[in-house]
Structure 1
Amino acid sequence: MTDLDDLITDWLTLPDVARRLDLEISRVHRLIEDGELVAVRRGDPVRRVIPADLLTDDGVAPHLKGTVTLLRDGGFDDVELLTWLFTDDASLPGRPIDQLRSGQRGEVRRRAQALAL
């Protein structure tokens, strides 16, 4: 399995996310709890971080929550679902996260649903 650090090079701490989204840190925690964002523990010292590409200039990447829900319901843990979102898929083209960031959810969700079966 590919290490997340090979796939994702730009990580944001939760305070960084709060500043970028102009939110209180408690609201960022709620976004994570609600599946609108995905955080994993990384680094030294270990802390919760979020891939920067989960955010756009307008906020959280569109359609991320539904895709995360599909993958979690299918048994994916957060590392597995981030690995899938950030791995190139020649049939899309590109990475699923890139498709979601551009507002294209249909094919991404079909693939996520197929994986979750």
Structure 2
Amino acid sequence: MNTAPVPTEWLTLPELVEQTGESLGRVRRLLDEKHLVGSKRDGVFKVPAVFLQGDRPLSSLRGTVIVLQDAGFGDDELIDWLLSPDDTIGIAPIEALQAGRKSEVRRVAASLA
């Protein structure tokens, strides 16, 4: 199985504002409310572009982030888990979420507690 993380562009807050067409305040609210999650990369706060579907946050991301946080994951850890292939799922969890396999991803995430 491929163990390399899903390749993704990392978007800064100004890039998120541009990509989503939302105000900076609204983008910060999306982060505060866990519709998106990011971390400092190279000293700058960034969000993986694969967490967006077009110009909107991936709808199944928020609940999955909350499940992972409830399991004790910090933002860096949950981002790494979402982007890395998982043996139980067969692909990276973010790819499974994009494919509509939300229940399966959340079940595996909940088992990590």
Name the stretch that deviates more: 90-99 or 68-77.
Answer: 90-99
Task: Give the partner amino acid of 2:35.
Answer: E
- Partners of 1:19 and 1:100 in 2: how far apart? 24
1:27 deviation in Å?
0.6
Structure 1 vs Structure 2: percent identity of aligned residues? 39
Task: Give the partner amino acid of 1:36.
Answer: H
Task: Give the structure 1 partner of residue 10 of structure 2.
Answer: 11
Q: Is the 8 A contact 2:60 2:97 kept in 1?
A: yes
The TM-score with structure 1 as length reference comes to: 0.86
Task: Give the structure 2 partner of residue 42 of structure 1.
Answer: 41
Identify which of 64, 83, 92 aligns with 2:61: 64
Name the stretch that deviates more: 90-99 or 32-41.
Answer: 90-99
Task: Give the structure 2 partner of residue 107 of structure 1.
Answer: 104
**Alignment partner of 2:106: what SS?**
helix
* Runs of at least 5 residues in structure 2 that lack an aligned partner in the other structure: none
- Partners of 1:106 and 1:81 in 2: how far apart? 17
* Runs of at least 5 residues in structure 1 that lack an aligned partner in the other structure: 1-5
Query: Are 1:97 and 2:100 matched, yes or no?
Result: no
- Partners of 2:86 and 2:45 in 1: how far apart? 27
Runs of 4+ in 1 over 2 A off after TM superposition: 6-9
Q: Is the 8 A contact 1:40 1:50 kept in 2?
A: yes
Please report the RMSD computed on the Cα atoms of aligned residues, expressed in angstroms.
Answer: 1.5
The TM-score with structure 2 as length reference comes to: 0.89
Task: Give the partner amino acid of 2:91.
Answer: G
Task: Give the structure 2 partner of residue 26 of structure 1.
Answer: 25
Q: 1:36 to 1:53 in 2, by over 3 A?
A: same
